[in-house]
Amino acid sequence: MLGHPDDPRGIVLPLDGRPGATESGAPERNGGPRPVRNGTPPGPALLLSWSPTPPVDDDRTWATLSASSELARRLAPDAGRAPATGLTFRLALPEAFGAEPLLRLAGGETAPVVPSASALLPVTPGHGDHGGAALGLLTLTTAAEIAATRTQTRVLGELTAAMEQLAPSCVMRLDSRLRAAEESLREAQTELLERGTLAGAGSGGADGPARGLETAVANLSVLRHQTHAWIAGWERVVAGADRSGTPGLPLRDELGEVGKLGWTGFPAAVHGAYQALVLDARRILLTAADHLLRSPNRPLPALRPLIESDLAGRAADVARLHRLLTALSTLPQTVRKRSGGMMPNLIADQAAANARSQALFTRMANALRAPVWDGQVVVEVRSLESGELQVLRPA
């Protein structure tokens, strides 16, 4: 039985709308029925396994969900029942169904498989509460959110640290629209796990997460176009620079002229550009997952055409930003040619400023380096004695 603590078997949930690979052939010679052969169902499948939660003293909690949440309902052995308590569930997908560009952008660590004897028991989708597509969607969006938020936090932290250490005169003014979008996306992911939809909470639904997400979608669209304009402008500056050596002060002034931000606004603009692109990629996956969850008869592979092209575009924009910073980091900066008549201390000051800005470009390029993703999509969930579920970060 699914979720039964005495049954160590795993369950394979088909995701493509096809039935599991069970066979009932001709009767045996003694007249009895031919034994059913259980195997991996045709097409992609979600592997759901569980084991008793060992004594742990770690704090890997990413989110805590109520006992009545949609995820709890999907993990329950029967309708109207909760998952057995004291278990750690492992949900694994064989692919990302179009979310590969986001996961390659975000990286990811896989929860290790706990060695145990297990059998694969196929379950026909679309019947009862154990359809694989819905549980697969919840698994995919959760795994992507965990990976994306972790990587985003790392990158933004490294960009901020680089600015504070190498360009202390610059100001990190963060766009309030980005902060609001971040909060809306996190609320939307929780709502998806709790309710299985992004419809607004409450009877009216006007003030729930869906309303906040609508605002985030509109703001991220504006910020994405702004980001494209900034990157294109910075690329023109680099293209016009002398690769054998370009004066550092005019280079910084030209970079600051893009968007009329000034050199002191350049690091914050890079910070905001990266954040806007990643937030928009996360938004694409969440809204598409909600759309598919509202159509329970559609298989999980139907997600790919909804998201893959757009996510690839956001990942390509981040790659452009990384290439831009890499090009700046390798561009030799010189002191103005007319500096021969300058005081030695002024020449030294300009040389030091050039060194700091080049180091800044290098640090920022390194922050945007592509993380490692092993191609797997795995989420771990613990069922607590209270009936609540803990969604876990990778160990």
The reply to whether 52 and 99 lie within a common domain is yes
Mean of pLDDT values over 73-89: 81
User: What does the alpha-carbon distance between residue 365 and residue 369 come to, in Å, rounded to a whole number?
Assistant: 7
Q: Do 196 and 225 have their domain in common?
A: yes
Assign 341 a pLDDT band (cuts: 50, 70, 90): low
Same domain, 22 and 148: no
User: What are the residues whose beta carbons fall under 8 Å from the beta carbon of 223, sequence distance 6 or more?
Assistant: 175, 177, 178, 272, 276, 280
Could you tell me if 248 and 155 lie in one domain? yes
Please check whether residues 65 and 175 belong to one and the same domain.
no
The reply to whether 309 and 271 lie within a common domain is: yes
Residue 2 lies in a domain: no
Reading the block at residue 162, the tokens are: 């680089």
Domain that includes residue 275, residue range: 144-367
Tell me if 3 is assigned to some domain: no
pLDDT score of 261: 93
Q: How far apart are CA 394 and CA 124, in angstroms?
A: 29
Do 297 and 362 share a domain, yes or no? Answer: yes
Tokens 């145990």 belong to residue: 116
Domains held by the chain: number: 2
What local confidence, expressed as pLDDT, does residue 260 receive?
95
Examine the pLDDT at 189 and tell me if it is beyond 70. Answer: yes
Report the percent of the chain where pLDDT is more than 90.
57
Residue 83 lies in a domain: yes
> pLDDT class for 8, splitting at 50, 70, 90?
very low
Same domain as 360, residue 243: yes
Q: What are phi and psi of 59, to 5 degrees?
A: -125, 80
Band of residue 51 on the pLDDT scale cut at 50, 70, 90:
confident
**52 is written with which tokens?**
């008793």
Position 31 scores a pLDDT of 43
Flag whether pLDDT at 30 surpasses 50. Answer: no
User: 120: pLDDT confidence band, cut at 50, 70 and 90?
Assistant: very low
Q: Mark whether 345 and 223 lie in a shared domain.
A: yes
Q: Are residues 14 and 153 in the same domain?
A: no
Mean pLDDT over 30-43 rounds to 46
List C-alpha distances in Å: 204 to 56, 57, 194, 210, 290. 42, 42, 18, 12, 19
197 and 341 together in one domain = yes
In a domain, 121, yes or no: yes
- Is 271 a member of any domain? yes
C-beta separation of 368 from 318 below 8 A:
yes
Residues 362 and 382 placed together within one structural domain of the fold = no
pTM for the full predicted model: 0.86
Residue 5 included in any domain: no
Q: What pLDDT, on the 0 to 100 scale, is given for residue 336?
A: 73
Beta strand 61-65 pairing with 389-392: antiparallel
Q: Residue 37: pLDDT above 70?
A: no
Residue 59 banded pLDDT, cuts 50, 70, 90: confident
CA dist., res. 207 & res. 144, Å (int): 26
